[in-house]
Structure 1
């Protein structure tokens, strides 16, 4: 082995980082605070650039085996009028492959299968990391992939950066039928989205100022166009996930510290989900970090981390900034200007 690394966090970014480091010849272990892998959640949209990163990590084939293409999505008014198209066709033309959607558990399974194939990457559950400096002392590289409340970030990075609420509540779920209508519907202070996720099922997500029960959420959308009321009516509320939307603020001045510590994914740049790029940025972080480490080797680790920070920080933070601004636009209480802007866009 060329070096010893520990990855804190076993989400998408953490597992992908462990794969990349192990492929580079490093001894890797993973510490996860939960008692099992986090399999809740619905669909991840994976952009072609992130798909290419998964290919380089050796996970692309397994990922594509469970993914579905995302095409023909529109932005609508609550009455059902099409205002614009999501740029999926343009993305596919430019990249030569479509945006793909995959259920979170299937992506986790694909990553775990690649890790298991190595046979020597221990994953320890129930590890609530607090002694970050001790980890740094005992390893050549420590990677914080431990989410928006990152313990690694709290100890080794700018303490001003932390989770910030954006004032809205998100709900997500999966309906056991194909809606046939995909994209997002934007209303006054709220929106509702639907995407494919696998045959016979529809991924949905909704954002409202606040709603604490299923009936309250249904009430926000009861007079919106079909099939939105049906999606909510025919989905078991016990399977819904509710969370308060947050992002990391202020943006970090660096993703690396001391030549031996790096952050990836939400630990580095947690963002609102409006652009659907959270999983993509985590995958791109993981691949860029481990590629730089492989190129520079353990002796050149400080240079590798600088190269990673240079490649990923500004790009990821631009996505996070764009997602936050889109959230403001989508949930605006004043819709007249927004709708007039849509009328100037191709549908």
Structure 2
């Protein structure tokens, strides 16, 4: 009789675990609280480690076909002068791959297509993951930033914490091959390529939590970024042409403290449920993918579920918590006040010159 896994959450990490386990003859059930798959969404960067995880699932080629490789990565000042470049050529020499940018719905569709029909069930809200252990061998909690499973298992000390920064984002009809990020006074603006001759953009600035921007989001974007270099203004002009209707806004959070473990009994946490981080390093989705594949690999390689969860925790907790700390420090550094901005830029220039981006 095959072992059974119930996965709470049908996002990137949960689906990755499901695909791997099902391919290893596990009985898999994914319970997703949303009523249907998302029809829209911006893009995310897949670093080589995440692409290798997709290769292990047998969907790496499909994901690459739907993605767009980034030709360059640039950090700029608000006046357009260069801070430094990300060494994507060196990344390719070192790993055989570069960063690929893919729309989140496209990646979710790719992972879902690799599952047998009926495994993914929408409209299922789980309130207490502990109750599920009676009907399966393992429960995988992949229920995101505001994880109910995390609260049930570890308490409110590990709740989401507001970073003090909000983010606007959207898509514009503008073709680009490079990932660029512009840093100004306590704010930043980024552009990433997207398939079909489009680009995703994002903009971050300090703001009160959950408070609408005075005058609306489009006015806030022009207040913060309207005097920046032409590349930023060109994107804002395209956003304005649509009347600002394509603007989404999300406050940025991470966890109030690092979890003491990613496992409890026969329950494991992956992705944002385990290590929600601010998006400053662009690694959240990548780490969720790697979590899902690592956990599934341990479960299929070991007889005892508890041993597999301990091995997963040992493999993933320290590196992901280091990334979460680094993302938090980056968030604070980028949104520093004017007197420290030149020091911040110089430090980033040195870092890009002497270090290698994590794969």
CA displacement at 1:60 relative to structure 2: 0.8
* Alignment of structure 1 residues 254-333 onto 2, 5 Å: 254-258=261-265, 260-297=266-303, 300-333=304-337
Matched, 1:138 2:135: yes
Q: Which aligned pairs between 1:157-306 and structure 2 lie closer than 5 A?
A: 157-179=154-176, 182-210=179-207, 211=213, 212-235=216-239, 236=242, 237-258=244-265, 260-297=266-303, 300-306=304-310
Structure 2 distance, partners of 1:111, 1:68, is: 18
CA contact (8 A) 2:278 2:327 kept: yes
- Which segment drifts farther, 248-257 or 210-219? 210-219
C-alpha RMSD over aligned residues: 1.7
- 1:143-195 deviations in Å (ceiling 9; x for gaps): 10000111111112344101000001101111111146641100010000111
Taking the aligned partners of 2:135 and 2:263, their CA distance within structure 1 comes to 18
Tell me what 2:5 maps to.
Answer: 5
- Residue of structure 2 in register with 1:100 after alignment: 100
Structure 1 gap ranges (5+): none
Q: Secondary structure at the match of 2:230?
A: coil
Within 1, Cα distance between the matches of 2:39 and 2:269?
A: 22
Asked if 1 retains the 8 angstrom alpha-carbon contact of 2:70 and 2:178, the reply is: no
For the residue of structure 1 that corresponds to 2:25, the secondary structure is coil
Task: Give the TM-score, by structure 1 length.
Answer: 0.94
SS at match of 2:149: helix
* 8 Å contact from structure 1 (residues 39, 108) kept in 2: no
1:43-58 pair list within 5 angstroms? 43-58=43-58
Quote the Cα distance in structure 2 between the aligned partners of 1:343 and 1:213: 31
TM-score, normalised to structure 2's length?
0.91
* Cα gap change, 1:39 to 1:161, in 2 (>3 Å): farther
1:234-264 C-alpha deviation (Å, 9 max, x unpaired):
1232222100000012000100001x10011
Number of residue pairs matched by the alignment: 341
- Following the alignment from structure 1 to structure 2, what is the Cα–Cα distance between the partners of residues 152 and 340? 42
Which string of whole-angstrom CA distances, capped at 9 and with x for unpartnered residues, describes residues 1-36 of structure 1?
521111111111111111111112111111111111
Aligned to 2:345: 339
Corresponding residue for residue 155 of structure 1: 152
Contact 2:217/2:247 (CA < 8 Å) preserved in 1?
A: no
Displacement of 1:90 = 2.4
2-structure distance, mates of 1:135, 1:181: 45
CA 19–182 in structure 1, closer or farther in 2 if over 3 Å, else same: closer
Equivalent-residue separation in structure 2 for 1:290 and 1:46 (angstroms): 20
Q: 1:340 to 1:5 in 2, by over 3 A?
A: closer
* Equivalent residue number for residue 124 of structure 1: 121
> What is aligned with 2:210?
none
Q: Which residue of 1 aligns with 2:75?
A: 75
Q: Structure 2: any 5+ residue segments left out of the alignment?
A: 208-212, 355-359
